[in-house]
Amino acid sequence: MSKQRVIVVGNGMVGHKFIDSVINSDNAENYEILTFSEEPRLAYDRVKLSSYFSGSTVDDLMLTSEEHYQSAGVIYTLNDKVVDIDHDNKTVKLASGKVERYDKLVLATGSYPFVPPIPGKDQPHCLVYRTIEDLEDITASAQESKVGVVVGGGLLGLEAANALKNLGLETHVVEFAPRLMAVQLDEGGGNLLRRKVEALDVNVHTEKNTKNITAGEKHRYRMEFADGSYLETDMILFSAGIRPQDELARNCGIDVGERGGIVIDNYCRTSVEDIYAIGECALWDSKIFGLVAPGYQMAKVALSHIDGGKEEFTGADMSTKLKLLGVDVASVGDAHARTPGAQTYTYEDGVNEVYKRLIVSEDRKKLLGAVLVGDVEAYGTLQQMCVNSMDLPEAPEQLILPASDGSAGAAMGVDALPDTAQLCSCLDVTKGDIVDAVQGGCCTMGDIKEKTEASTGCGGCAALVKSVMDNELKNLGVEVNNHLCEHFNYSRAELADIVRVKKIESFDELLDSHGNGGLGCEICKPTVGSILASFWNDYVLEDKHMGLQDTNDIYLGNMQKDGTYSIVPRVAGGEITPDKLIVLGEVAKEYDLYTKITGGQRIDLFGAQLHELPEIWKKLVDAGFETGHAYGKSVRTVKSCVGSTWCRYGVQDSVGMAIAVENRYKGLRSPHKLKFAVSGCTRECAEAQSKDIGVIATENGWNLYVCGNGGMRPRHADLFATDLDDETLVKYIDRVLMFYIRTADRLQRTSVWLENLEGGLDYLREVVIDDKLNIAQELEDEMTSNIGKYQCEWKTTIENPEKLKRFRHFVNSDETDSNLAYVVEREQRRPANEQERENQIPAVEVTA
């Protein structure tokens, strides 16, 4: 059989998808493919166009390359336009005069930006946003402009506004409708979006109908609105919608819709035999689809039909979820409640700026649509319920209400989804496809992406795809593993056992003997570093351990948002002498450090640069301070109340005990940080019941509480033992902590550890108090050995010239980081925010 000659007019996203599908199909050799593009390059990713303004290059945006087309035998011509179709003789004619014969013709001519017919719209700095050339024009124009206006407050308009902001312009959005994103959002959602966008310094003007563009006084142009008001600007970007590019079809006798668009049937056939239309130029059921996913589906359908198949295009879900100017927005199905009888549920949280609305059927059984602004977590669930017409739960409002226990409210068991549910609309992947892939052996997201292409488009479906994968793995009885990372098939607790029992002393030794190759990563390195420190307690910056240390540990300070560090000396039990306070004040003054009392009863000095750390710490160590390990997953503070020495109610010396406890465990590294407190009586002023280890004085000794937590999920500590004497108290704490260090997961606080410990508190008592496992002595010995090796890491470091060399910003220069910028607030400096930074750029650079 001789090859069929297929001509694809337009090499945009959809035209390319069609060609790519032919190349990858089993029948590829049956076809000879030709394509013509008006643009100077082959297909690129228009969806990601805006990333050009945040650093992507044209190369990054390309979807294919000339080499790829050549090697696949695709014949292409760039910079040339198809101007005529002779469907009787089955030929097309190009602007260059060339004529080519076809067997099948596929029109993928896309659309063009609509520019409203406003007088003055054709001036030089009035631009549109669709092609790479447009981006270049916008960039050039922005260089000569200070103010930019986007006409159109839809999805693309807001993206364009973001681009103008990124280019440093004062940005305005002018919208004809009363709200932003009128197509996707209802009034409430649109209003909230507007507030959020305005908070980002984009000026929004709604219900403005531009009548005329004339010369401005302060800026290049003046836009005159129908209501008599005006706005001056240096450039204008039109983003007022798209129109299907149907000129060619229209001129050649192919049916087009009343308001444009090439009419197609369910097989993507036009009114003329052997001519198909796909993508944004096509009109199906009187609808144009302005998104790429439906276009991709049409490409598949058209190819199927040409190939003798029976696939049909049956419409597409236009639900969208996106981040516009950093604001999360989603719209599902019938967002405007246009379905007769539709009922709605609305949830609005003015404090956290969240708006959610559900549109349900008259009988409240089915979800028709939804609008989400500010919190789009429920999108996946809602979109699936909507497209699959799944039954709503009894109380549909639960889907948008925050759950009272703080967990996500709208989670839906993925089991409930039908196999036909489309999870990834970009690549048309269903739940069934994922399930098949898992049954075929895929068990990571990487495998799934490779096998099904799911999540390789916009990425919006990743969470849903992963939960379907995990669920199916579970159904298959595959244990969803607790392996630390790709480098170790062991959990943290297992690795801790291996290190302890086999006396492994370095990361490389462990990786070589028990790892999966590679070099390790930022998960396993610090975890193993911490395990080694818990058991052997070497100096953390020793050569073989240095590369394992996390962000903060490696420079023995907490990295702040601008790359500088904070300094937190230990103030055991919160007790500090006036002399030491004066030293802290003097040092802070000398280095202009922002100074604050922490929530842990000590003092934090912020804003020290890398090279200043050793000098500052030298002064502090000389004055008798030690490191506070604020940077480590390690013992932080022991909070105390003043206790019996001063307080009229105190029954024991809580400060004395707090200092003793802090000095005993300081420097102990553990799976997560450890916090303690000691209160002098039952009034509990030190809040010991919110700590990992809490001690409260009694008439007869001490009550010990364990596994409390403040922070994200507070948990009251459990009363573990009562009326302990000093010695027993310490013994029990030793054992609890060491048992935790041996058995906890990575970054698991004691609260979560206890909740996951089989047998719970009773079991912990059996191990620690009754010594059921016969390890109490071991645990104590391990603690004693750890304590015996304590050193102040800062003292060791400032005494070691080799290590000090690392505390410089540059290895080859004494200069310092030039990127730091500060402003003074309440008499102290703090990092300048982005806007303040911009304002600090000298004005001279912008003028001229």
Q: What does the binding site for ligand FES look like in residue numbers (CB under 6 A)?
A: 424-427, 454-461
Judged by beta carbon distances under 5 to 8 A according to partner kind, the member of ligand FAD, ligand SRM, ligand SF4, none in contact with residue 712 is ligand SRM
Q: DSSP character for 198? A: H
Q: What contacts 24+ positions apart, CB below 8 Å, involve 802-806?
A: 803/541, 804/614, 806/555
Structure-block tokens of residue 546: 């240095």
Q: DSSP character for 769? A: T
Window of 103-111, 593-601, 612-620, 621-629 that interacts with ligand FAD by CB under 6 A: 103-111
Judged by beta carbon distances under 5 to 8 A according to partner kind, the member of ligand SF4, ligand FAD, ligand SRM, none in contact with residue 675 is ligand SRM
Nearest approach, Cβ of 107 to ligand FAD (angstroms)?
Answer: 8
Q: How many residues bind ligand SRM (CB under 6 A)?
A: 20
b (16+ CB within 10 A) / e for 233-266: bbbbbbbbbbbbbbebbeebebebbeebbbbbee
Phi/psi of residue 415, nearest 5 degrees: -55, -30
Structure-block tokens of residue 596: 């604050």
Judged by beta carbon distances under 5 to 8 A according to partner kind, the member of ligand SRM, ligand FAD, other proteins, none in contact with residue 38 is ligand FAD
Q: Is 647 annotated as a binding residue?
A: yes
Beta carbon nearer to ligand SRM, 4 or 598: 598
Q: Which of residues 777-836 bind other proteins (CB under 8 A)?
A: 805-806, 809-813, 815, 817, 819, 834
Beta carbon nearer to ligand SF4, 537 or 679: 679
Residue 414's nearest CA partner among 430, 426, 428 is 430
Q: Is 521 annotated as a binding residue?
A: no
Residue 741's nearest CA partner among 524, 500, 410 is 500
Query: Binding residue for ligand SRM (CB under 6 A) from 343, 598, 663, 796?
Result: 598
Binding mask 666-685 for ligand SF4 (x = CB under 6 A): -------------xxx-xxx
Residue 650 is a binding residue for ligand SF4 (CB under 6 A): yes
Nearest approach, Cβ of 658 to ligand SF4 (angstroms)?
Answer: 11
The CA distance from 188 to 166, in Å, is 28
Residue 563 is a binding residue for other proteins (CB under 8 A): yes
How big, in percent rounded to 5, are the helix, strand and coil portions of the chain? 35, 20, 45
Q: Which helix (H) or strand (E) holds 783?
A: helix 776-788
Binding mask 681-710 for ligand SF4 (x = CB under 6 A): x-xxx-------------------------
Residue 375's nearest CA partner among 351, 398, 356, 394 is 356
Beta carbon nearer to ligand SRM, 110 or 708: 708
Q: Is 461 annotated as a binding residue?
A: no
Residue 822's nearest CA partner among 609, 631, 567, 551 is 609
Beta carbon nearer to ligand FES, 457 or 600: 457
Nearest approach, Cβ of 426 to ligand FAD (angstroms)?
Answer: 8
Distances (CA, A) of 222 to 202, 218, 228: 18, 9, 12
Sequence letter at residue 437: A
Nearest approach, Cβ of 603 to ligand FES (angstroms)?
Answer: 49
Judged by beta carbon distances under 5 to 8 A according to partner kind, the member of ligand SRM, ligand FAD, ligand SF4, none in contact with residue 749 is ligand SRM
- Torsion 697-700-706-708 (CA) sign: negative
Phi/psi of residue 233, nearest 5 degrees: -155, 165
Query: Binding residue for ligand SRM (CB under 6 A) from 595, 710, 809, 828?
Result: 710
Residue 487 is a binding residue for other proteins (CB under 8 A): yes
The CA distance from 168 to 835, in Å, is 10
Residue 522 is a binding residue for other proteins (CB under 8 A): yes
Per the document, the length of the chain is: 848
Q: Which of residues 24-83 bind other proteins (CB under 8 A)?
A: 48, 51, 54-57, 59-60
Residue 13 is a binding residue for ligand FAD (CB under 6 A): yes
Distances (CA, A) of 36 to 20, 380, 584, 758: 15, 38, 72, 67
Window of 247-255, 595-603, 653-661, 720-728 that interacts with ligand SRM by CB under 6 A: 595-603
Beta carbon nearer to ligand SF4, 198 or 723: 723
Q: How many residues bind other proteins (CB under 8 A)?
A: 44
Residue 749 is a binding residue for ligand SRM (CB under 6 A): yes
Beta carbon nearer to ligand SRM, 1 or 712: 712
Distances (CA, A) of 422 to 333, 383, 431, 475: 14, 10, 6, 20
DSSP state letters, 722-767: EEE-HHHHHHHHHHHHHHHHHHPPTT--HHHHHHHSTTHHHHHHHH
Q: Which of residues 202-241 bind ligand FAD (CB under 6 A)?
A: none
Residue 248 is a binding residue for ligand FAD (CB under 6 A): yes
Beta carbon nearer to ligand SF4, 654 or 751: 654
The CA distance from 145 to 171, in Å, is 11
Maximum CA pair distance of the chain? 106
Q: Which of residues 166-205 bind ligand FAD (CB under 6 A)?
A: none
Q: Which residues pair with 787 in a beta bridge?
A: none
Judged by beta carbon distances under 5 to 8 A according to partner kind, the member of ligand FES, ligand FAD, ligand SRM, none in contact with residue 630 is ligand SRM
Phi/psi of residue 727, nearest 5 degrees: -65, -45
Residue 600 is a binding residue for ligand SRM (CB under 6 A): yes
Residue 515 is a binding residue for other proteins (CB under 8 A): no
Judged by beta carbon distances under 5 to 8 A according to partner kind, the member of ligand FES, ligand FAD, ligand SRM, none in contact with residue 12 is ligand FAD
Residue 350's nearest CA partner among 494, 196, 561 is 196
Q: What contacts 24+ positions apart, CB below 8 Å, involve 249-257?
A: 249/85, 249/107, 249/109, 249/277, 249/281, 251/84, 252/84, 252/85, 252/87, 253/87, 254/85, 254/107, 256/283, 257/283, 257/286
Query: Binding residue for ligand SF4 (CB under 6 A) from 183, 642, 747, 832?
Result: 642
Nearest approach, Cβ of 522 to ligand FES (angstroms)?
Answer: 26
Residue 81 is a binding residue for ligand FAD (CB under 6 A): yes
The CA distance from 45 to 61, in Å, is 5
Binding mask 304-343 for ligand FAD (x = CB under 6 A): ----------------------------------------
The CA distance from 748 to 769, in Å, is 23
Judged by beta carbon distances under 5 to 8 A according to partner kind, the member of other proteins, ligand FES, ligand FAD, none in contact with residue 47 is ligand FAD
**CB contact set of 407 (below 8 Å; sequence gap of 6+):** none
Contact 223, 215 (CB under 8 A): no
Residue 138 is a binding residue for ligand FAD (CB under 6 A): no
Residue 645 is a binding residue for ligand SF4 (CB under 6 A): no
Nearest approach, Cβ of 746 to other proteins (angstroms)?
Answer: 14
Q: What contacts 24+ positions apart, CB below 8 Å, involve 162-168?
A: 162/50, 162/53, 162/324, 162/325, 163/50, 163/53, 163/129, 163/138, 164/138, 164/237, 165/200, 165/201, 165/202, 165/325, 166/53, 166/54, 167/53, 167/138, 167/139, 167/142, 168/142, 168/838
Q: Which of residues 750-789 bind ligand SRM (CB under 6 A)?
A: none
Binding mask 605-634 for ligand SRM (x = CB under 6 A): -------------------------x----
User: Which residues are near other proteins by CB under 8 A?
Assistant: 48, 51, 54-57, 59-60, 446, 486-487, 508, 518-522, 524-526, 543, 546-551, 554-555, 559, 561-563, 805-806, 809-813, 815, 817, 819, 834
User: Which residues are near ligand FAD by CB under 6 A?
Assistant: 9-15, 36-39, 46-47, 49-50, 81-82, 108-111, 129-130, 156, 159, 245, 248, 279-280, 290-293, 295
Annotated binding-site ranges for siroheme? 685
Annotated binding-site ranges for [4Fe-4S] cluster? 641, 647, 681, 685
User: Which residues are near ligand SF4 by CB under 6 A?
Assistant: 641-643, 647, 649-650, 654, 679-681, 683-685
